[in-house]
Amino acid sequence: MRDTAEWASYFAADWRMELPDRIHSGAIGADGTPAWHHDFELWLTGERIYVKRNDDQRLRTTRVMRKLRKISPREYEVLYRILVLGDSVDDTTVWLNERAQRNQIPLPRGREAHYRTKDTLALLIAGISFAKAHW
């Protein structure tokens, strides 16, 4: 787990440096205008954590994450929510379950929820392992 945490921190620092690819979240703000996407809002306010790295390392990280998104979208989503958005594993598990319910995915036999915390952790570890192997 220590190795996973170290690599997660490394990838998060690089990945957060990227400009956001969405400006609006699709929701309507309190003032009636389109709400900013969380990434864009962080980028606007300068609240992202920037670590000085060379552009080659950052570009490698970006390419790995794009490759992961194509190969395993669920692992990508978990990494994105935890490493970039800063969600906790528990919050990500709740999000995964809400998404599965919203998409009307049937529950696996004998399960009360689609995802458990250990499932989210497994997706996180698998995603970091993939990124580490392909970086």
What pLDDT digit, counting tens, does each position of 37-86 carry? Answer: 776 676 666 555 444 455 677 778 888 888 999 999 999 999 999 998 88
Q: How far apart are CA 77 and CA 16, in angstroms?
A: 14
Q: How far apart are CA 32 and CA 120, in angstroms?
A: 35
132 vs 9, more confident: 132
pLDDT of residue 20: 62
Percent of the chain with pLDDT over 90: 47
Q: From the CB of residue 40, how many other CB atoms can be counted at a distance below 10 Å?
A: 17
**33, 102 in Cβ contact below 8 A?**
no
Q: How far is CA 5 from CA 8, 9, 13, 26, 90, in A?
A: 5, 6, 12, 32, 16
pLDDT of residue 33: 79
**31, 49 in Cβ contact below 8 A?**
no
pTM exceeds cut of 0.95: no
33 vs 50, more confident: 33
Helix axes 55-71 and 2-16, enclosed angle (nearest 10): 110
- Closest to 57 measured CA to CA, from 96, 87, 17, 92: 17
Count of all residues that appear for the chain in the document: 135
pLDDT of residue 75: 96
Rg of the chain over all Cα atoms, to the nearest angstrom: 16
pLDDT at 23 over 60: yes
pLDDT at 100 over 80: yes
